[in-house]
Structure formats: structure tokens, C-alpha cells
Amino acid sequence: MKHKLKKLQVVLLATMIVIIAAICIGITSLMYTIKQDAVPKNTKGFMIQQMEEQMTSFVQVYDEEYQNQVHEKIQTLKQSYQYDLLNPLLIANPYQTVTNGLYMYFETDKRYQVEYVISVDGYNDFRQIVPADTEDNCDKIHEFLMVGLIMSEKNHITIKLLDEQDQVVDTVSFEYNCPKAIGPYNVNKIKVTKGESLTPVSQGLYA
């Protein structure tokens, strides 16, 4: 009887260890850390920060706890340094939901609009005015996710500051090697096979 009881205690202890380990692994998989790319992406020495570990499942990526951890980490980073146009905060696909997305944050001493231009050999340039929550679209705080980057290609990115008269007052440029998509969706161009409209697609996101 004592032998059976001791054996049962060992089994229960082993089960508890497995459960605790599983919980720890689950928590670890949701931990969010980012690292700086070891190689500057342009002559100005811009650093593209990246995820320390890629998530292994889309279920984890869209988990609310994980997304909240990402958000809190970004808020901490924003407060850790006085980012400006020459030293912006750049994070590649921080929420792991847009492979060809690049997060950018910086502040300016005066109110400006922001425009970015993405240039890649073999593709039309993509231009985008960053929307601001103001009537004239000018602000001192600039936070946005760039879209229109070409996957698996070297993207030349130009950031422009425009005043209230839409005049360019400052410009910086850097390069970013956008990674390929996770899965079978590494497609940068889509050909139209059906349809009667001859109106060209706006924004240059499609060919």
C-alpha cells in the first residue's frame, strides 16, 4: 500500500512539473522583446529595431495579451529617448501583423505634415501623406505605420517634412531590406485578369 501511495505521489509530482513547465513556456512565448539591427541601414546610421523572437502561431499574434505587451513596450521606448527626424524610432512589423509594415515615431519642434516616398527598382514610387488628427494635417508628434514597402527587396525610403503651405522644409532618406512574407503570400504585384474598368488604381499599391 505504501509503495502504491509513493508511486502515486511521484506521478502527481511529475504531472505538476509538466503543467508548470507548460505554463512557463506559454508565458515565455508571449513575452515581447525587441533588438536593434546590428547593421545601420543608411549613412545617417538609422537603426531598424526588430522582434527578438518571431511568434510561432497566428493565434498567439492576435492574442490580446500579446498585443498589449507590444503596445506597452512601444510606449516605454517612446519615453526612453527624445526621438527626432534624424534619430527616429523605427520598428519593423512590431505587432507581427503586417510583414511589410515599418513603424516610425519622432517629434518636431514645429508643426509639420509628413510625407514618405518608397522607391524600389522595377516598381513605381509609392507616396503617402501621413494623416494627422488636425484640421491642417500638421502636428509636432508623428507616429505611423508605413505601408507600400516591397517584400524581399531593398526599399529606399524618403521622409519629408512639409509646412502649412505644403513646402518641403526638411528631408531624410534611408534604406530598408523588407523581409519576405510568412507563408505563400510573398506577392508584390497582382495582374488584373477580369474587369471592365479602365480607371488606374490609385496610390500605386497595385500593378
Q: At what angle do helices 2-30 and 64-80 cross, to 10 degrees?
A: 50
Q: Give the pLDDT band of residue 136 (cuts 50, 70, 90).
A: very high
pLDDT at 168: 97
Q: What band does 3 get if pLDDT is binned at 50, 70 and 90?
A: low
Percent of the chain having pLDDT more than 90? 44
**In the predicted model, is pLDDT for residue 34 greater than 70?**
no
pLDDT of residue 35: 43
Does the pLDDT at position 38 exceed 90? no
Q: Are 128 and 139 spatial neighbours (Cβ–Cβ below 8 Å)?
A: no
Q: What is the DSSP string of 104-142?
A: EEEEEEEEEEEEEEEE-TTS--EEEEPP-SSTTS-EEEE
Q: What are 3's three cell numbers?
A: 509503495
pLDDT of residue 43: 36
Output the pLDDT for position 203. 56
- Helix, strand and coil content of the chain, in percent to the nearest 5, comes to 25, 30, 45
* Tens digits of residue pLDDT in 147-200: 889 999 999 999 999 999 999 999 999 999 998 876 555 555 556 566 777 776
Report the pLDDT value the prediction gives residue 68, as an integer from 0 to 100.
Answer: 87
Q: Look-up: residue for cell 507563408?
A: 183
Tell me the three cell numbers of residue 88. Answer: 527616429
The yes-or-no verdict on residue 107 having pLDDT over 60 is yes
Residues 53-86: tens digit of each pLDDT: 555 566 677 788 888 888 899 999 999 899 999 9
The model's pLDDT over 119-133, given as tens digits with 9 standing for 90+, comes to 999 999 999 999 999
